[in-house]
Structure 1
């Protein structure tokens, strides 16, 4: 299980924007889904990703950015 910090690290490794605000914007726009695993703790809730979710989110973000670039060219 991985946190958003791990997803941000993978975004950076993939050469994509990797700020927390950008990640929240992708979630808000529905480009990626929020983490499916939720663990309650004393200090709130931890949302955790699986490795498969991280890999899929990277792919979805790359596709989204590619489509943005392609639409600007036409």
Structure 2
């Protein structure tokens, strides 16, 4: 979880800009990015039958669209 939070901060930090965030602001920003309101997950599974046929199942979870809310 800590690695994911650090990755998100690096991903969303402006490139080349000096960091002026306090520890409290960093925690708040990570909390906002990882809140339940912005969660989305997608899992794909491809099944290959003995005859070579393929079927792909896609599972979507999250709160991006109201129909998919947990």
TM over 0.5: no
TM range (shorter): 0.3 to 0.5
Greater helix content: 1
**Structure of greater Rg:** 2
TM normalised by structure 1 equals: 0.37
The answer to which structure, 1 or 2, has the higher relative contact order (CA under 8 A, 6+ apart) is: 1
More strand by share: 2
